């Protein structure tokens, strides 16, 4: 399904505090410098039009939220909405999220990672392009702090089942845990526009949460070659 178009952005709107291009950012990335404070940071993978970012930033001003979106149009639109609302605790990076996690994020930095409705790449020959692959899942695990959460939602049961098998095989994350008041703490009717459309159409949504164990030992889990230089 083609992604819907986004409205034009007001050319006079200042996006400098909400929109970034990955190649312009220092490596490794210090999120405390980016947000101008030290607070729990949550990453929204494929942030789209930014509904989750706007809702989460407004609901939890004591946390910082970072959207990573490959599409320039969607990334700029999402940033523009954040700028309009004056939400300093949410920002968008236009980037390939696999590259961002692998090369820009230090260990143990994130309190949560949100992965909502990633492209399922239906054809067998295209499945290798799926975001939920071993290398990316290992990087998510590495970047989470002890006790940090990974939320994974999809409307494709095959993608859900195979991903849960992959997580069990290649990570030490605890789960799957059901989405609950304990793990979500989100007062939102819908987290994304995609979720809203699917729920109104009665399409089932498969959800799971994983937690990084408090006793997680990074040096045992990852060889030196995967460490960020």
Residues forming the active site: 119
Structure tokens at 135: 């290398």
β-sheet with 174-177: strand ranges across:
19-21, 90-94, 64-69, 41-45, 110-116, 144-154, 206-211, 174-177
Distance CA 99, CA 18 (A): 20
Distance CA 212, CA 23 (A): 29
Q: Is 113 helix (H, G, I), strand (E, B) or coil?
A: strand
Q: How many CB atoms lie within 10 A of CB 59?
A: 12
Decide if 43 contacts 112 (C-beta within 8 A): yes
Distance CA 150, CA 129 (A): 20
In terms of Cα–Cα distance, which of 123, 191, 129, 182 is closest to 154?
191
In terms of Cα–Cα distance, which of 106, 137, 134 is closest to 208?
137
Structure tokens at 51: 């509904």
What pairs with residue 149 in β-bridges?
112, 211
């Amino acid at each position: 399904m083609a992604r819907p178009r986004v409205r034009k952005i007001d050319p006079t709107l200042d996006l400098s505090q909400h929109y970034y291009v990955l190649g312009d950012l220092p490596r490794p990335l210090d999120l405390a410098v980016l947000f101008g404070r030290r607070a729990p940071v949550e990453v929204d993978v494929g942030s789209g039009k930014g509904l989750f970012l706007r809702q989460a930033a407004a609901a939890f001003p004591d946390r910082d939220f970072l959207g990573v979106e490959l599409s320039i149009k969607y990334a700029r639109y999402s940033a523009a909405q954040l700028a309009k609302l004056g939400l300093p605790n949410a920002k968008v990076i236009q980037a390939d999220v696999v590259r961002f996690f692998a090369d820009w994020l230090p260990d143990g930095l994130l309190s949560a990672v949100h992965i909502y409705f990633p492209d399922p790449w239906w054809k067998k020959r295209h499945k290798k392009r799926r975001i939920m692959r071993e290398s990316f899942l290992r990087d998510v695990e590495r970047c989470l702090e002890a006790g940090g959460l990974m939320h994974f939602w999809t409307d494709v049961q095959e993608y859900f089942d195979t991903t849960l098998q992959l997580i069990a095989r290649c990570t030490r994350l605890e789960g799957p845990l059901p989405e609950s008041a304990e793990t979500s703490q989100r007062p939102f009717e819908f987290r994304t526009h995609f979720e809203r459309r699917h729920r109104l159409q009665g399409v089932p949504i498969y959800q799971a949460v994983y937690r990084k164990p408090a006793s997680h030992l990074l040096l045992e889990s990852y060889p030196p070659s995967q460490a960020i230089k």
